[in-house]
Amino acid sequence: DAGITQSPRHKVTETGTPVTLRCHQTENHRYMYWYRQDPGHGLRLIHYSYGVKDTDKGEVSDGYSVSRSKTEDFLLTLESATSSQTSVYFCATQGRMNTGELFFGEGSRLTVL
Amino acid sequence: AQSVTQLGSHVSVSEGALVLLRCNYSSSVPPYLFWYVQYPNQGLQLLLKYTSAATLVKGINGFEAEFKKSETSFHLTKPSAHMSDAAEYFCAVRASGGSNYKLTFGKGTLLTVNP
pLDDT above 90 covers what percent of chain B?
75
Express each pLDDT in B33-58 by its tens digit. 999 999 988 899 999 999 877 899 99
DSSP A2-69: --EEEE-SEEEE-TT--EEEEEEESS--SEEEEEEEETTTEEEEEEEEEETTEEEE-TT-TTEEEEEE
Interface contact B94, partner A, CB < 8 A: yes
Of the partner residues B6, B103, B107, the one whose CB lies closest to the CB of residue A102: B103
How big is the CA angle at B88 (ends B82 and B91), to the nearest 5 degrees? 110
Interface contact A58, partner B, CB < 8 A: yes
- B104 CB neighbours in chain A (<8 A) are 45
Express each pLDDT in A55-110 by its tens digit. 999 999 999 999 999 999 999 999 999 999 999 999 999 876 666 788 999 999 99
Cα separation, A50 vs A56, in Å, equals 8
pLDDT above 70 covers what percent of chain A?
95
- Where is pLDDT greater, at A97 or B95? B95
